[in-house]
Homo-oligomer: A and B are copies of this chain.
Amino acid sequence: MSTPYTRLDKNQAAVLLVDHQTGLLSLVRDIEPDRFKNNVLALADLAKYFELPTILTTSFESGPNGPLVPELKELFPDAPYIARPGQINAWDNEDFLAAVKATGRKQLIIAGVVTEVCVAFPALSAIEAGFEVFVVTDASGTFNEVTRHSAWDRMSSAGAQLMTWFGVACELHRDWRNDIEGLGALFANHIPDYRNLINSYTTLTAGK
């Protein structure tokens, strides 16, 4: 087996959100905007929910790339926030690297814009540095399906595990009994079909 199973552990994992900036988001065309916005916020919410150390970073936010999307800033007011002065690969930025190491975590959950650069570069560097890397494919976006496929292939071949925000949440939670309502609320807020199931259920069993 080329990439053995490494299981996400909420005590071992940290989240890196890379360059979700208002300008750069206009470049994302491999995923529909409503869905992408939802996926990014779902990932942020689960990072919060599982109290994972989270690091925010941006590239040139005073220029055309634009500021970090405000929702992320608001969700993580105390998180390390590294506005990189120029390094394209966040891993090349000493402050970012220091922030990653300061978490003491060895599992890195990474998402960002655009996939083949802002996600792939630090993901590949982190693997090289001995971290276990989990790429959140549906909270990462890029120009089109060709760029996406190339980025996924490169990261997967190097040993990254491709996951989605829902899989990450489930693998971290392990057992619904740890908190049914909390996880249920997370899902209801970010999966319309699940919200519908819950609403139908609640109504039907209301007087039961």
Contact = CB atoms under 8 A, between A and B. Distances in A.
Centre residue among A5, A151, A152 by max chain B CB count within 10 A: A5
B60 A197 contact: no
A182 interface: no
Nearest to A35: B34
B157 A147 contact: no
Contact of A166 (B29, B116, B125): B116
Contacts of A46: none
A99 interface: no
What number of copies of this chain does the assembly contain? Answer: 8
B116 A167 contact: yes
Q: Which of A117, A196, A198, A208 has the most B CB atoms < 10 Å from its CB?
A: A196
B35 A171 contact: no
Contacts of A175: 86-88, 92
A48 interface: no
B192 A37 contact: yes
A121 B116 CA distance: 25
Nearest to A163: B150
Interface residues of A, number: 91
A159 B34 contact: no
A138 B86 CA distance: 26
Interface of A: 1-5, 7, 22-23, 25-27, 29, 31-38, 59-60, 63-67, 69-70, 85-89, 92, 114, 116-117, 120-121, 124-125, 127-128, 137-138, 143-144, 146-147, 149-154, 156-159, 161-164, 166-167, 170-171, 173-178, 180, 191-201, 203-205, 207-208
Given A23-B200, A66-B204, A149-B152, 13 more contacts: A22-B197, A22-B200, A23-B196, A23-B201, A25-B193, A26-B196, A32-B35, A35-B144, A64-B197, A86-B180, A147-B167, A150-B163, A204-B204
